A = this chain, B = another copy of it.
Amino acid sequence: MPTGKRGLPATLVRRGGERILVDCGEGTQRQLLRSDIGLVELEEVFLTHFHADHYLGLPGMLKTFALRGRETPLTLYGPAGLADLVGTLRRIFGRLTYPVSTVELEPGEALARDGYRIETFATAHAVTSVGYALVEEERPGRFDVQRANELGVPGGPDRGRLQRGEPVTLADGRVVQPSEVLGEPRAGRKLVLTGDTAPVGSVVEAAAGADLLVHEATFLADERERARETLHSTAGEAALAAREAGVKLLALTHVSTRYFGHQVVEEAAALFPATVVPRDFDIVTVPFPERGTPELVRSGARSGRAPVGSEA
């Protein structure tokens, strides 16, 4: 259920110029319009499962793209049943100005992207569901300019080759290996989004060492029975998963209308201190590990009411 302050599930992932939407609850197009990002021409939307609060924003958003005359294709990803769902939704959104295709994914699949991959993992919900992990490749080590100068590597293409991991033969016949001028390979980043799920080992496994784990926390401990019946997690259970997985930051979402963000943070932080509960329009930045740690950035109050008590 939405509230005056909280919209329905939708998370936008930005990486360089890329924009990926994960889940698309009712009103997502307008939330994007009201955000600093705007309603950009998303090319990929990932659904974690097919409860209406996670997809009802799709038909309206697809129609808006068509009203703008969009021609760029759009691909929807989701667990088994996606094609059926989109078949039903097509009766609503009708003919569009651009092609929409669907890709059904099993847990354990990986989609190759430029510099990273999107992996699916098993979650445990009342309907077929899947979680998503964005896992960046290792980046080459830092290029040691001083050392390259000492070795007599000329500026230009030869240095590029070394950075890409290729050996280079100099004018005088000497061969310089990449390892002579490059530091240790640097870790990529890892972002894991669970969607709705009860506590389950596959989530901890998928989240191992993640920079950011975006985990649902529908309930608090006082509603643990209800969490079990509905296959959701409590804030404490999400914190335990983050702790076992050794993530850097835990962002809790999908909070029941009965709780305030600070209550959720309190319960989780007792087990896992690096926990935040983002509000609508908040941003979590995930820098390269050598540049800092993931951090919640509060947005301006665009959700239409005064901010709820602080919880960072």
Question: Chain A: residues with CB nearer than 8 A to chain B?
Answer: 1-4, 7-8, 26-27, 29-30, 33-34, 52-53, 56-57, 59-60, 63-64, 67-68, 88, 91-94, 302-305
Contacts A/B (CB < 8 Å), 10 sampled = A1-B64, A1-B68, A2-B30, A2-B33, A2-B64, A4-B34, A27-B27, A34-B305, A52-B60, A302-B305
| Pick from B52, B67, B304: contact of A302, CB under 8 Å | B304
Contact of A29 among B2, B29, B30, B64 (CB under 8 A): B2
Alpha-carbon distance between A52 and B53 when the two chains are bound, in angstroms: 17
A-B pairs, 3 with minimum CB distance = A27-B27, A304-B304, A26-B60
Q: Of all chain B residues, which has the CB nearest A280? A: B304
Number of copies: 2
Check if B56 sits within 8 Å of A30, measured CB to CB: no
9 further A-B pairs in the complex, CB-CB below 8 A; given A1-B64, A8-B60, A56-B59: A4-B34, A26-B27, A26-B57, A27-B30, A52-B63, A52-B92, A56-B60, A88-B91, A302-B304
Looking at the assembled complex, report how far the CB atom of A291 sits from the nearest CB atom of chain B, in whole angstroms.
Answer: 32
Contact partner of A60 (CB less than 8 A), chosen from B53, B63, B302, is: B53
Contact of A53 among B2, B34, B63, B94 (CB under 8 A): B63
- In the complex, what distance in Å separates the CA atom of A118 from the CA atom of B93? 30
* Contacts known (A52-B60, A304-B304); A4 close to B33, Cβ less than 8 A: yes
Chain B residue with Cβ nearest A51: B63
A45 to chain B, nearest CB (A): 16
A52–B304 CB distance below 8 A: no
Q: A67-B1, A88-B91, A304-B34 known; A52 and B56 CB under 8 Å?
A: no
Cα A63 to Cα B8 in complex, Å, equals: 13
Q: Which chain B residues lie closer than 8 Å to A60 at the CB level?
A: 8, 26, 52-53, 56
Residues of B within 8 A of A59 (CB): 52, 56
User: In the complex, what distance in Å separates the CA atom of A25 from the CA atom of B265?
Assistant: 34
**Is A56 within 8 A of B92, CB to CB?**
yes
Taking CB atoms, residues of chain B closer than 8 Å to A33 are: 2-4
